[in-house]
Structure 1
Amino acid sequence: MFDAIPLDDMSLGYEQRGEIVYQVETIENSHWARVPITVLHPDDGGRHPVIFFAHGYGGHNWKTAYFDLIDDLASHGYVVVFVPFQTASTSRLMYATLWDGFTDAVDAFGAVMDLDRVGFVGHSFGGGATPYMAYKGLVEQGWGGVASYVYTSAPWYSWDTPDDKLESLPPETVFVASIYEDDTINDHRMAIDLYENTTLPEENKLFLEVNSVQVGRRTARATHFTPGLSPDLTLKASGVFAPLNAINQAVFEDNYQARDFLFNEYYDSDVLDRVPSPVVEVPESRFRFKWSNQRLNDRL
């Protein structure tokens, strides 16, 4: 583990872990009985904003794959719903597992959830699934009536998510797409496609690139695994925790300072660039999963 990089524009502390005590509870996963759904929530009996988290391919154990990130979100006083899905190469059952798990968690823990304030966060396969989950929650269920956001990180292919679903997201929703400079797994074009075709007001859209940076004699590399399995807290804190914590405060708490930090200042960071008009500067051959894959890419 390494300490986060001290940056001048991190002075507001968005990269720091919170101090809220939370409970970790589980319920049965109707699609995969062996691995339960986990709900983390503040231990105070009140209702709190909800973050629905969609993990990456094979990342079904949150304690090993995403502990730092899930712990950070819960420590700031939010309900976090983590639904494991059993990975299968091209099965839509993974989407059904995620969505049914989210609604099962709402049924079981609705008493601690403020469903007027919701966020949908996903990484890799889960990042590709997140816009679909957001459509189901925000449009079909009417969640997020007061505040909502979508955060897709290094997304894989997005299934069953044509443009009309992206275009129907409530206009107050904040949409953030994030990529990693040295990702060789998922083509950056997937994130750019979702960002460009989500027709929200420009002031509610943000595209971030997490950069690799030099730390002393070593390089902290912004790879595909930065949000999860990477043990290097340098980029996790500055490139993942900080923007998510700022988004949560800006959206859920109507914190103008957090919004200004996120939309107007963050691109000055060495770790993060705010990219108003993203383009892909590397060939498809660099990535394992290419944008032009006719079999997997629903959005071609």
Structure 2
Amino acid sequence: MHSSSVRSLREKFFDRLLEIGMIILALLVLYPCYYMFEASVKLPKEFYEPLKFPSRIFWGNYDNVFERVQVGRALLNTLLICGGTLVLLIIVASMAGYTISRNRHKLFQILFVLFLAGMIIPFQTSMVPIYKLAQSLHLMNTRTLLVLLYTAGTIPFATMIYVGFTKGIPRELEEAASIDGYGPLRMYWLIIFPLLLPATGTLIVTTVFGFWNDFIGPLLYLTDKDKMTLITQIFVFKSERSSDWGGIFALCSLATLPLILLFVVTQKYMIKGLTAGAIKG
């Protein structure tokens, strides 16, 4: 009895120690976000006092940004690129993952290995060939080009997620659907795809940050100012007004807020997808 109580106290001690460590880690992660939002509502004369809370909330930095930057258009461009990429990626990768997981033929296993091999090819090695190809196909300075590039670059990772998750779906569901007269495509969209929602939520959360924050792609392939994304607009604003730190942080805050909202909405699907994958693995 004594040894069990000592063990219980030891476990509680380590649990509390772990909780304290997680709180400290969370504060270290959250502080840069707090500093960014705080700096965006400071008066210019207070900006160089980072540890001092602003004497009053100053929204002039945001007014300045909306006057000098096409925030609405940049946000729309970013949403169109990210949304188009996610839709195309989910459709292609989910169907590819389902097909590979349900076929044991060596050809499909080779295809899966080829998908995974695409993850090791660095984007920098293909920038010039892509530039030449986009010029020949008249896709330069179009949002469609970025959608295709992001989709192609993320398909290996997305397919791997769907393959692992689809293996945990019982085949009996498909057999029952076949008896009811469902064709392969109808069976997939009405029965299998809804069951992949946790995997889809995980994929959205883990990939959209890369699409949203990408700087190299829009800088290389979007030369029209009306088609710039939020990230490239931050770069242009910083180049033109390098001393306006309040405006820079206000623009950064506007670019960060949609991602925070997206994570809050989809975090439960991400956790469910990760835990489901761990149990089925």
TM-score (norm 1): 0.25
Q: Hey, which of these two has a bigger chunk of strand by percent?
A: 1
Which structure has the bigger radius of gyration?
2
The structure with the largest helix share of the pair is: 2
- Length-normalised TM-score, structure 2: 0.26
Task: Work out which structure has the larger RCO, using CA pairs closer than 8 Å and 6 or more positions apart in sequence.
Answer: 2
